[in-house]
Amino acid sequence: MGGVNHFARRSRMNILIRNATILPMNATGGQPLHYEGNVGIEGERIAFAGSDGRQAEEFLSRHAGDCRVVEAEGKVVLPGFVNAHTHVAMSLLRGVSDDVPLAEWLEQHIWPIEGKMGRREVFDGARLGILEMLLGGTTTFVDMYPHEDAVAEAAEEAGMRAVVCPCAMDFRMAHFEEDWRRTRERVSGSRLVGTMVAPHAIYTLSEGNLRRAMELADEAGAGIHLHLSETEKEDADARERYGASPTAWFDAVGLFGRPTIAAHCVTVSEGDIRVLAERGVSVAHNPQSNMKLGSGIAPVRRMLEAGVNVAIGTDGAASNNDLDMWEEMRTASLLQKAVLRDPCAVPAYTALRMATANGAKAIGREGELGVVAAGRWPTCRSSTWGGRT
């Protein structure tokens, strides 16, 4: 737990960032998207962000002798990224299987290895993935995996914010309930880590087991994190089995009555998009994973136009093959431009909002994270949607 102590020491520090280009990510109306200015950080909170030099002088004199000054001319200050969907421990599986479709990739390559991974491997894989994310400017991630208590421990040790989501699947329901119990214990009182329940996907869960996962989420006041409409096969199978699209089926079962993050949403119809917008479901768009597995291109612009909160995730490193949110933003923007033959389809600033402010909204921290402004949290604090019971 040495890392936590280091974080606690760091978090009391005062920092003045001077002469930076600031992208606050909360500009409205005709406000400029960026400005030249200074940011003062007091302990864990942003004390001020602005272009008035007197604020910086006042901040310096208030914290004379106890303030680190960062000269940031030519550099940009922007909120940390929220990786809205990943399986961080899969850093250990990076590159184990390329050039195969999702079902084969999961059933023949990934699940057999994951079946041999215990808590120790998940902890080590999480540490590796967290290091990669921190180096790339990601300060929050939403994870889904077995042994999520180990992911919570790794995040706390690194001083990183996370929402860890134990994964429910038919063939491991007993393990899931144990993971959920341990994870809730682990994050109880955590300043950095919260939890949600993760029903894996429509093709890995019976209705009975889905209802059990919903029951556990409700008991804890926790949200839901799932895979939704990732492939055409998933969509076709759901229509054959249930006579409904995955979105329509989950809606009929009542899943979306809870705060929900749905990863992928590649094959959603216009009707599905309306449901997602009406129920306030956040979508985690994973363009590079969808490209690698040949799943398709999510209708991101349509979802944004319909009022769906679309965030960005990398998915696990095995289906990407990295956890780089810069690449993910670039791909998200370029794919929509190419497929819609419209260079304005998802502009750069929209992609940046998806990776910051929209990610914060997806985890219930809208306006609090994902924005550079007074009162916001530049570093870390506990997370989201219950779980801190």
Using CB under 5 A as the criterion, which residues of the chain lie in contact with Zn ion when the complex forms? 315
Contacts 24+ apart (CB under 8 A), 168-172: 168/197, 168/198, 168/199, 168/200, 168/205, 168/209, 168/210, 168/212, 168/213, 169/200, 169/204, 169/205, 169/209, 170/204, 170/205, 170/206, 170/209, 171/204, 172/146
> Is 115 or 343 the residue whose CB approaches Zn ion more closely?
115
| Closest to 387 measured CA to CA, from 174, 202, 149 | 149
> Is 25 or 355 the residue whose CB approaches Zn ion more closely?
355
> Is 325 or 372 the residue whose CB approaches Zn ion more closely?
325
Q: Which residue is nearest to Zn ion (CB)?
A: 315
- What's the min distance (Å) between Cβ of 2 and Zn ion? 31
Angle, CA of 345, 349 and 351, to the nearest 5°: 65
Q: Which residues contact residue 9 at a Cβ distance below 8 angstroms, ignoring those fewer than 6 apart?
A: none
- What's the min distance (Å) between Cβ of 140 and Zn ion? 17
- What's the min distance (Å) between Cβ of 85 and Zn ion? 6
- What's the min distance (Å) between Cβ of 315 and Zn ion? 5
Amino acid identity of 136? G
Burial class (CB in 10 A: 0-12, 13-18, 19+), 29: exposed
> Is 145 or 377 the residue whose CB approaches Zn ion more closely?
145
Q: Which helix (H) or strand (E) holds 21?
A: strand 14-22
- What's the min distance (Å) between Cβ of 251 and Zn ion? 21
- What's the min distance (Å) between Cβ of 87 and Zn ion? 6
Inter-CA distances, 248 with 197, 242, 272, 279, 332, Å: 20, 10, 7, 12, 25
> Is 145 or 180 the residue whose CB approaches Zn ion more closely?
145
> Is 143 or 157 the residue whose CB approaches Zn ion more closely?
143
Amino acid identity of 196? M
- What's the min distance (Å) between Cβ of 155 and Zn ion? 18
> Is 272 or 315 the residue whose CB approaches Zn ion more closely?
315
Q: Helix H segments across 38-86?
A: 53-62
Query: Peptide bond before 83: cis, by omega within 30 degrees of 0?
Result: no
